[in-house]
């Protein structure tokens, strides 16, 4: 009986840990379509956002908020429970997110107006849970302050992200700036042979066609799904290390507007199954800067930016601090560059010959589409491609 009791306690502990591990990814995945919809209102061409990093940064902010200010943020992020539970959920995921087979740099930092002392409890939480340092800066010297912050971002992102902070957003009233910069790079599990890349048509619209560099893979097994609700096809392209890029391709050349009107369903898990597929995917590169201040205000985070802000967990007393800006800059480059190095570890996924279908599915990405990158079941990046040069 004693042995059974120990076993039951062990099972309960593991279940609790699993539940904690799922909590933050579930919150991020629920947060994603809301963010996408708001960004879509101002960005009409290609864009890339990371709901994961925005949520991480907001979770950090709520760790320094108190009362209704903190609760408002947790509600927008779909967190269930209070501050400590949110911190536990984020810490559990961040500690398990990295992988030796892909490169993922997430850089978070808090800049606080000079002469404010960051409270020891918050500074400890920022470092231990979020990997974020805080630093005092004189925002009145806006050019120097921007230069300082931009240099830190460049260092954290292998110089892929530059000039994140515009000096003009800084002034004597600025109290806090939260910054997040991202860089992601991974090798395809099934590489696109560089010698197959060629110029192909990309239909920006029914009337406008451009020639773009397009990568090809013939008769490979990938997770694939045809969704009649979305009038679209979904394809999951795996990276080494377990991350994946999913493309949601409308069936119609000008079907993106209709697809984006059902954005929640677009980001939901679908019943993808292994199918033999011919793939044509254009090379693309996106670098986006998103003013999350406007996005978050629309989603319901308002107190943190106004007179009612209570950031007393960071520094000072209630009303001493107010968040002035939340800025995110992200970068993605989809090409064969990483794939060439992975050719020696090429891993084809095959099924028994008897399971072969009559003919492969065709997944030809030759018009605007939505895409997202997942790591361990959590949406890390999401974006759209509407135009290519």
Number of domains in the chain: 2
| Domain of 104, in residue numbers | 24-35+45-186+286-333
Separation of CA 35 from chain center: 10
The CATH number of the domain holding residue 165 is 3.30.497.10
| DSSP class of 28 | H
Of 299, 314, 333, the domain-final residue: 333
Residue 3 has pLDDT above 80, yes or no: no
Mean pLDDT for 319-344 is 62
Distance between CA atoms of residues 164 and 315, nearest Å: 25
Q: What is the pTM of this model?
A: 0.85
DSSP-based helix, strand, coil % in the chain, nearest 5: 35, 30, 35
47-74: pLDDT as tens digits = 888 888 889 888 988 998 999 999 999 9
Residues 246 and 372 grouped into a single domain? yes
- Indicate the angle between helix axes 83-94 and 51-63, nearest 10 degrees: 140
Token readout for 263 is: 């954005």
Q: Quick check: is 293 in a domain?
A: yes
Band the pLDDT of 199: cuts 50, 70, 90: very high
Give the pLDDT confidence of 223-232 residue by residue, as tens digits.
999 999 999 9
336 closest CA partner among 194, 144, 130: 194
Helix, strand or coil for residue 105? strand
Within this chain, do residues 137 and 200 fall inside the same structural domain, yes or no? Answer: no
Reduced 3-state DSSP string for 112-177: EECCCCCCHHHHHHHHHHHCCEEEEECCCCHHHHHHHHHHHHHHHCCCCCCCCCCHHHCCCCCCEE
**How far apart (Å, rounded) are the C-alpha atoms in residues 250 and 256?**
6
Residues 108 and 211 in one domain: no
The answer to whether 275 and 233 have CB atoms below 8 angstroms apart is no
- Domain stop point among 295, 315, 333: 333
pLDDT (average), residues 5-10: 41
Distance CA 177, CA 148 (A): 13
Rounded Cα distance between 383 and 389, Å, is 17
Same domain, 241 and 278: yes
Which 3 state secondary structure label does DSSP give 13? Answer: helix
CATH code: domain of residue 215: 2.30.39.10
pLDDT at residue 325 tops 80 = no
Whether 338 is in a domain gets the answer yes
Residues in Cβ contact with 228 at an 8 Å cutoff, skipping those fewer than 6 apart: none
Backbone angles phi, psi at 279, to 5 degrees: -120, 135
286: β partners? 332
In a domain, 28, yes or no: yes
- Using the predicted structure, report yes or no on whether residue 97 has a pLDDT greater than 90: no
Residue 378 lies inside a defined structural domain of this protein: yes
Q: Do 248 and 150 have their domain in common?
A: no
Q: What is the mean pLDDT of the chain?
A: 82
Residue 23, pLDDT > 50, answer: yes
Q: Does residue 222 form part of some domain?
A: yes
Tell me, yes or no, whether 123 and 217 share the same domain.
Answer: no
CB-count burial class (<10 Å; 0-12, 13-18, 19+) for 147: middle
Q: Which residues does residue 220 pair with via DSSP β-bridges, in sequence order?
A: 277
Q: Look at residue 126 and tell me if it is in a domain.
A: yes
Residues 204, 246, single domain; the answer is: yes
Gyration radius of the chain over CA positions:
23
User: For residue 38, which phi and psi values (nearest 5 degrees)?
Assistant: -70, -40
The residue that leads in pLDDT, 96 or 78, is 78
- Is residue 247 domain-shared with residue 266, that is, in the same domain? yes
Tell me: pLDDT of 352 over 80.
no
- Which distant-in-sequence residues (6+ apart) come within 8 Å of 317 by Cβ? none
pLDDT value at 7 more than 50? no
């Amino acid at each position: 009986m004693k042995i059974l009791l120990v076993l039951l306690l062990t099972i309960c502990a593991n279940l609790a840990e699993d539940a904690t591990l799922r909590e933050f990814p579930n919150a991020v995945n629920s947060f994603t379509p809301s963010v996408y919809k708001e960004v879509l209102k101002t960005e009409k061409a290609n864009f890339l956002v990371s709901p994961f990093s925005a949520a991480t940064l907001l979770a950090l902010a709520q760790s320094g908020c108190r009362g209704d200010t903190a609760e408002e943020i947790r509600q927008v992020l779909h967190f269930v429970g209070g501050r400590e539970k949110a911190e536990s959920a984020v810490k559990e995921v961040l500690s398990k997110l990295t992988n030796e087979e892909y490169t993922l740099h997430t850089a978070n930092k808090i800049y606080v107006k000079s002469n404010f002392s960051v409270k020891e409890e918050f500074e400890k939480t920022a470092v231990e849970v979020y990997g974020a340092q805080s630093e005092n800066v004189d925002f009145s010297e806006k050019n120097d302050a921007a230069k300082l912050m931009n240099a830190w971002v460049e260092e954290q992102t292998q110089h892929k992200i530059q000039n994140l902070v515009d000096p003009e957003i800084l002034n004597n009233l600025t109290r806090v700036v939260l910054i997040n910069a991202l860089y992601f790079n991974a090798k395809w599990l099934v590489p696109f042979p560089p010698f197959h890349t060629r110029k192909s048509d990309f239909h920006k619209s029914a009337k406008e066609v451009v020639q773009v560099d397009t990568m090809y893979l013939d008769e490979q097994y990938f997770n694939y799904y045809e969704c009649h609700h979305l009038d679209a096809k979904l394809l999951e392209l795996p990276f080494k290390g377990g991350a994946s890029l999913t493309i949601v391709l409308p069936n119609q050349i000008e079907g993106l507007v209709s697809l984006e009107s059902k954005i929640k369903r677009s980001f939901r898990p679908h019943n993808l199954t292994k199918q033999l597929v011919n793939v044509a995917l254009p090379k693309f590169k996106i670098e986006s800067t998103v003013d999350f201040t406007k996005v978050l205000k629309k989603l319901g985070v308002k107190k943190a930016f106004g007179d009612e802000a209570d950031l007393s967990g960071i520094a000072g007393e209630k009303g001493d601090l107010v968040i002035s800006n939340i800025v995110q800059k992200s970068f993605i480059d989809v090409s064969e560059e990483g794939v060439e190095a992975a050719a020696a570890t090429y891993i084809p996924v095959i099924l028994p010959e008897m399971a072969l279908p009559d003919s492969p599915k065709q997944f030809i990405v030759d018009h605007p589409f939505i895409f997202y990158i997942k790591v361990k079941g959590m949406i890390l990046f999401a974006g759209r491609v509407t135009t290519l040069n």
